[in-house]
Structure 1
Amino acid sequence: MTGHTATPREETAVRTWSTPALTVLGSAGALLLGGTGLFLAALFLHVAPSNAVSQRYRSEVDQVVYPEFEQNWKLFAPNPLQQNITVDARVQTISPDGQVHTRDWLGLTAQDIAAIRGNPAPSHVDQNLLRRAWDFYDSTHSAQDGTVTSGMRGKLAEEYLKRVALQRFGRTADGERILQIQLRAGTAEVAPPRWSQEQVSTEVQYRELPWWPVDDSDHEGLG
C-alpha cells in the first residue's frame, strides 16, 4: 500500500478555530478596544473645555492623565510657550578652617536638556521636575519683590524648589559643607521665524531669588 503525500493545497488549508478559542480572542479584542476607547476619552476630557462630564469625572481623568500624559494646552485654545526659561543655582560653602566660599552658578536646566537630547525615551523627571517646581514657585510669589502671594502654598513652593536644587548638589561641594543656596531664573523670548516682521528682544533677563539657609532637615528623604 502506497502512503499518501499531502499536496501544497492541503498543507495551506484554512485553520478552523474552536468555539472556546474564538470566544477568548473576541473577548480580548473587545477589552483592548474598550480600554483604548476609555483612554482616548479621558485624554479628550482633559484637554477639552470644562463641562459637566469632565467636572464629574475629574478625579478619574487626572489619575489616567498625570503624570505621563499631561498637556499644558487646551483643545480649542492652544497657548504654546513663548518664552525659554532656564533655572540656575549656586551655593555657599564653608571649609574646615571656617572660610566661606561662594560657588559659580550651575545650570540645572542645562543638565536636564543634556539628559534629554538624543535620548529616545527621556525620563519624565528630566523633562518636568525642575520646570514644574519653578512654575509652582512663580505662581505663588510676586515677580516684583518675591513676596508670598498664597500663604502656606508659597512656603511649600519654596521648600520644594530648594530641595529639588539641593538634590543636584548633595550635602557638600568639593568636600565643603553647604551653608546656603540661591537660585535664579533666566527668561528669554522665543525668536520669531525668519519670515516674520515681528521684532522681539531675545536677551536673557535674570530674576535672582534670595539666599536660603540649608540644614540637615533639607536633605531628609533626598536620594
Structure 2
Amino acid sequence: MAESSAGTGGAEDGRCAADAAAGVPLGGRSWSRPALAVLGVAGAALVAVTGLFLAAVFLHVAPANSLSREYREQVDGVVYPEFEQNWKLFAPNPLQQNVSLDARVRTVADGGATRTHDWFGLTARDLAAIRGNPAPSHADQNLLRRAWDFYEGTHSAQDDSPTGPRGKLAEQYLKRIALQRTGRSVDGERILEIEFRVTATVVRPPDWSGEAAPPAPKVRELPWWPVNDEDHRGLG
C-alpha cells in the first residue's frame, strides 16, 4: 500500500512538473494566448500610465527645471485641480487664518418666479462632520479648503476676474463641490444661480506674545454664477 501511494504521488508530481514546464498553471487551468496577450497589454498600459502620472507629480513638486518648464502645461493638466500638492505645513510661514465658505442659491419656480435663499455654511458642514470623528474623511477636511485655495490663486482679489487660463476651471470646481451638496433643486425649485461668501479670520495670537489683537474678519462676496445642466453632470 505504501508503495502504491508513493507511486501515485510520484506520478502526480511528474504531471505537475510537466504542466509547469509547459506553462500550464496548477490545477489544469490555463489562459488562452489571446487572453494572455490582452492581460499583457493591459498590464503594460497600466504601468505606463502610472509611471507618467508619478512623473507629472514629481515635476510639479520638484524645483523648476528645463523639463518642468517645457511641459508645464501638460503637467498642470494632469495635477490640477484634484491632485494639487501643498507643502505649507512645512513652510516657514504656515497658514494663520481660518477661512469659512458659505453659499446661497437663487431658484426659479415652474411659473418663472425667482427666489433668493439664505446663506448656508459649507465649511460649517465639514467641521460638523469632522468634530467627534476619530477618522474623518479626507474630503471633509481638505476638499473645500483646497478648492478655495485654487480659486484664490487664480483670481484677482479686487474684481474676482481670472488671472490665468486655469481661472475658469477653478470656478467650475468650486461650483460643482457646492452643487454636489445642494442637489439640482431647493424646495422643489430649480437652482438658477449660486453665490459664494468667504470670511477670513486671523488666528488670535497667544496672550503672552504681546502682539496686537488681529483685525476684524474680512468678508468677500463673489459674483453670482449661472448654473446649468452641465454643472450637474456626473453629480447624480
TM-score by length of 2: 0.63
Q: Name whichever of 134-143 and 96-105 sits farther off.
A: 96-105
CA shift at 1:51, angstroms? Answer: 10
Q: Choose the corresponding residue for 1:214, options 227, 230, 233.
A: 227
Higher helix share: 2
Tell me, in whole angstroms, the C-alpha distance in 2 between the residues paired with 1:192 and 1:182.
32
Distance 1:100 1:84, change over 3 A: same
2:214 equivalent among 184, 201, 204: 201
Contact 1:89 1:106 in 2 (8 A): yes
Quick one: which of 192, 197, 200 aligns to 1:187? Answer: 200
- Alignment partner, residue 126 of structure 2: 112
AA matched with 1:73: L
* Cα shift readout 1:153-194 (whole Å, capped 9, x = no counterpart): 111111111111111110000111100000111111100112
Residue aligning to 2:89:
73
Give the corresponding residue for 2:164. 150
SS state at 2:193 partner: strand
What is the root-mean-square deviation in Å for CA atoms of aligned residues?
Answer: 2.9
Candidates 132, 139, 145, aligned match of 2:153? 139
Q: Distance in 2 between matches of 1:220 and 1:49?
A: 34
Structure 2 unmatched ranges of 5 or more: 1-57, 69-74
Percent identity for Structure 1 against Structure 2? 59
How many angstroms apart in 2 are the aligned matches of 1:117 and 1:194? 26
Separation in 2, partners of 1:51, 1:102: 46
* 51 and 99 in structure 1: CA distance in 2 versus 1, 3 angstrom threshold: closer
Alignment match, 2:190: 177
1:166 matched to 2:179: yes
Alignment of 1:86-97 (within 5 A): 86-97=100-111
Distance 1:171 1:86 in 2: 23
Q: Does the Cα contact within 8 Å between 1:190 and 1:202 map onto a contact in 2?
A: no
How much has 1:197 moved relative to structure 2? 1.4
Tell whether 2:140 aligns with 1:126.
Answer: yes
* TM superposition shift of 1:96: 2.4
For 2:159 and 2:86, locate their aligned partners in 1 and report how far apart those are by CA, in whole Å: 31
Figure out how many residues of one structure are paired with residues of the other and give that number: 166
| CA distance in 2 between partners of 1:187 and 1:71 (Å) | 21
Once superposed, which parts of structure 1, at least 4 consecutive aligned residues long, lie more than 3 Å away? 48-52
Give the TM-score taking structure 1 as reference length.
Answer: 0.66
